[in-house]
Amino acid sequence: MSATVYNCTPHDIHVYDTNGKTILHTFPRNLDWTLRVITKEQKDLGTFQGVPLVSRQDPNGFSDEQTALIEQAHRDQSVLLTSGYAAEVILEKWPDFAGQVFGPDSGPSSAVRNDRGQIIGVRRFEVHK
C-alpha cells in the first residue's frame, strides 16, 4: 500500500523489526495534524487513590480546521495514524474511511519497551474499523 501517511498522534511513531531491536521506520509527529477530540461534556466520577476519574461524554468530533484536514485526507485516500479514541470518532462520521485509519498496536506482542517499561515503539499497526 502506497499512500500519504499523516501521524495524528502527539509523538513520533517508531516501527521496529520483529526482534524489537532496530527501528525500520519513523513516522514523525506533525503538530498541525495532532487530532484532539472535542467532547460536549465531561462527567466527574470521583477519585481513585486521590486521582480524579472522569468519563468523556458525547464526542463532538474535531475543530472545523481538523475536520477539513480529515476530509481532505479522506478524499486523497491518505492513511491516518491515530489513537483508538480518535479513530472511533473518525469512523463514526466517515465509516467508509475504514482501512485507512491505523494506530500503533501497543499490545504485548507488538510494543517495544525501554528498560523502565515505557513504550518506545511498535512492531506493527492495528487497523481501526
Q: How many CA atoms lie within 13 A of 7 on its CB side?
A: 16
Give the β-pairing of 13-16 and 23-27.
antiparallel
Q: Say which range, 38-47, 65-74, 95-104, 110-119, has the weakest mean pLDDT.
A: 38-47
Q: In which residue are the cell numbers 516501527 written?
A: 15
Report, as an integer, the average pLDDT of 49-67. Answer: 78
The widest CA-to-CA distance across the chain, in whole angstroms, is 47
Asked whether 63 and 44 are in contact (CB, 8 A), the reply is no
Q: Residue 116: its pLDDT value, please?
A: 96
Reading the block at residue 60, the C-alpha cell is 463532538
Collapsed DSSP state (helix, strand, coil) of residue 69: helix
- Of the pLDDT bands very low, low, confident and very high (cuts 50, 70, 90), residue 85 is confident
The pTM score is 0.73
